[in-house]
Structure 1
Amino acid sequence: MKPLLGLVSLLLVCYGSAQNVPPVARPKILGVAHIGLRTDNLDAARRFYGGVLGYQEPFSLDKPANEGTGLLLTYFKVNDHQYIEVFPELMDPKQDRLSHISFETSDAEQLLAYLAGKGVKVPDKLEPMEDGNRGFDVIDPDGHDVEFIQYMPGSLHSRNFGKFLPSTRISDHIIHVGVVVSDRAAADHFYKDILGFKPIWHGGMTDKSTDWVDMRVPDGTDWLEYMLNVHNPNPHELGVMHHCALGVPSVKLGYETVLKRGPKPEEPPQIGRDGKWQLNLYDPNFTRVELMEPKPVRKPCCSPILQ
């Protein structure tokens, strides 16, 4: 009887210890790290991102040996912590131009454990990244590939801190990325309830509709834009929705710079429903790149912009 009582006591102690283990805290999610885009014409993409937008390519990556030969992707540097990644892998005109979106975290391993504890499907462990950083990918409720990255000493990125930042850059900050969201409640559960993103504005084509929701990262100023009420988009429409926005102090000056460097934009500068000046540009595969001023010049529609 005594051995049995001892075993029961041991099990109770172990159970109690397990119950007292605190949940893993969410590490910081600092901002947009990059957007990954597909192209079928890398030379044309270089003329747009390098020639028109003025970004340099500090490095690129070739395909891993098990995936064949050739270029995997090239990087256009916006600032030390933000890039536009371009993959020459667009094989079908109907294929989504968006490869993935990425956010910077202070601790990739801790974030992996945190998400696992919340029931999110994550990799079993962190695998080495080709660029020398730490990170992993998850799939959000709408099927978008979402990467979280932690910049590490010695990586391609950190070795080039302070470099490849020319004055030709039309902007030095990606302020948001946008993706199509079909189920706002499901997206909110993932981005707001689990990851800690905060809604800061919503608006629509009319004052009574909600077609866009801005969700700010929990530990920075960048945001993710939900693109709502999008039904069966064609590739061009999807390129409008899946986009990135570059912050500029003056859209007027940005427009003048674009006119000097490349073809006239399809659309003139305009004040958006959020009250901010913006200019829509399109890369050779119809992905929208938005130039946007940081502050509204007139009252935003539909809701105030929270600070």
Structure 2
Amino acid sequence: MTTVSWLAMVPSRLPSPSYVRVASLFLAMIALLAMPFYSQAQTRPAITGISHMCVYASDAEASDNFYGHILGAAKGADPQDGSGVRYYFGPEQFVEVLPLPAEHTLSRISCVAFSTVDAKGLHSYMEAHHTEALGAVETAKDGTVWFKSHDPEGNLVEFVQGGHPHAVPASAKPIGTRIIHVGYMVHSKAAEDKFYIELLGFKPYWFGAMKPEHTDWISMQVPDGKDWIEYMMVGDGSTTPVDHVDARELGVLNHFSIGVPNMEKAVTTLYAEDRLSPRHDGPQMGRDGKWQANWYDPDGTRVELMEFQPVMKPCCSEFTATSPTK
């Protein structure tokens, strides 16, 4: 009896060359069809600037006087949250004022929000990069498409594709028509950088401090514009110990900034028209070489008026990106 080894039978069980060619062609077609979807998930849509900041208010009437009269923003309905009110500085930038929750922390900011050209595409990109705590894409009554996320320190961050621009009436007297940056308390630069720089592509702009060999402020511009976010550093390496952060200090750290072409003219207008907040300071020269002044809303959130361009050499670091001009 002749014995046939199993190994000798293997070649007869392999696919024919024609079968291999057909299978390879089929797999190649699948790969080509899948490429647009893979590319869409992996390409980050443009993030172009600041959309808005959300703040909590304990007294709606007092907040209305501050944002509507003192800062001169145009009041409008809030299509994202029926309990809120928007105060527009321009057709697409605003502060969203929300009722202070019954249970709340010291912080009076609810969110920071950035503008994108494609909210659904950005959501897909972040989802493909395994971003945690990513909310669903939603559409507001005015056509705005947006979603929520959280940065590594748990702060609520929104990404907004604008709907119909809000018409700012001629009667409105905004002290400035552009929000140029937002800032809030940060403990860990390394953790925040993974979100803003590594994931989203923000670019370094400037850093500084009150004292040598410290770092108090770190600014990064949005990837596709000139607005920026400012880390307000606390703890190791900064001049602000964590245990010194009370409600008043947190209101200084958590802020948004309105750009003005000329600080003297802006502040003179506020004084002449009796548009002073009970708490304000400046004008003063910032460490970044720009004139600035601070107004505070009734709950202590700081609003920083800032000239677009520096007028003297900044301390600590040079600007590594172009400053906005308007």
Give the TM-score band, short-chain normalised: 0.7 to 0.9
CA offsets per residue over residues 38-85 of structure 1, 9 Å max, x none?
00101000111111111111323596xxxxxxx510000010110111
**Alignment counterpart, residue 169 of structure 2, candidates 147, 164, 170:** 164
**Is residue 57 from structure 1 mapped to residue 68 from structure 2 by the alignment?**
no
CA offsets per residue over residues 193-232 of structure 1, 9 Å max, x none?
1101001100011132111111000111100001112514
TM-score by length of 1: 0.86
Partner of 1:40: 58
Residue 216 and residue 165 in structure 1: after superposition, are their counterparts in 2 closer, same or farther (change >3 A)?
A: farther
**Alignment counterpart, residue 198 of structure 1, candidates 189, 194, 203:** 203
CA contact (8 A) 2:106 2:250 kept: no
CA offsets per residue over residues 95-120 of structure 1, 9 Å max, x none?
31001000010000100011111121
Partner of 1:187: 192
**Alignment counterpart, residue 30 of structure 1, candidates 48, 51, 66:** 48
Partner of 1:241: 253
- Figure out how many residues of one structure are paired with residues of the other and give that number: 294
The residue type paired with residue 282 of structure 2 is P
TM-score by length of 2: 0.81
**Alignment counterpart, residue 213 of structure 1, candidates 213, 218, 229:** 218
CA contact (8 A) 1:94 1:235 kept: no
**Is residue 79 from structure 1 mapped to residue 90 from structure 2 by the alignment?**
yes
**Is residue 95 from structure 1 mapped to residue 74 from structure 2 by the alignment?**
no
Please give the residue correspondences for 1:85-164 in structure 2 after superposition, counting only pairs within 5 Å. 85-91=96-102, 94-121=105-132, 123=134, 125-152=136-163, 157-158=164-165, 160=166, 162-164=167-169
The residue type paired with residue 250 of structure 2 is L
**Is residue 294 from structure 1 mapped to residue 304 from structure 2 by the alignment?**
no
1:256: how far off? 2.0
**Is residue 268 from structure 1 mapped to residue 282 from structure 2 by the alignment?**
yes
The residue type paired with residue 34 of structure 1 is H
How far apart are the structure 1 equivalents of 2:257 and 2:107?
Answer: 18
The residue type paired with residue 254 of structure 2 is H
The residue type paired with residue 214 of structure 1 is S
How far apart are the structure 2 equivalents of 1:15 and 1:199?
Answer: 42
1:251: how far off? 1.6
CA offsets per residue over residues 17-52 of structure 1, 9 Å max, x none?
399644521001010000000001010001111111
Partner of 2:262: 250
CA RMSD of aligned residues (A): 2.8
SS of 2:74's partner is coil
Structure 2 residue ranges without an equivalent (≥5) = 1-12, 236-241
CA contact (8 A) 2:135 2:148 kept: no
CA contact (8 A) 1:203 1:212 kept: yes
SS of 1:246's partner is strand
Partner of 1:17: 31
Partner of 2:8: none
The residue type paired with residue 185 of structure 2 is V
Partner of 1:67: none
The residue type paired with residue 139 of structure 2 is P
How far apart are the structure 2 equivalents of 1:203 and 1:263?
Answer: 28
How far apart are the structure 2 equivalents of 1:82 and 1:172?
Answer: 8
How far apart are the structure 2 equivalents of 1:205 and 1:45?
Answer: 31
SS of 1:191's partner is helix
1:265: how far off? 4.5
How far apart are the structure 2 equivalents of 1:124 and 1:170?
Answer: 34
CA contact (8 A) 2:208 2:215 kept: yes
Residue 124 and residue 236 in structure 1: after superposition, are their counterparts in 2 closer, same or farther (change >3 A)?
A: closer
Residue 167 and residue 41 in structure 1: after superposition, are their counterparts in 2 closer, same or farther (change >3 A)?
A: closer
CA contact (8 A) 1:61 1:72 kept: no
SS of 2:281's partner is coil
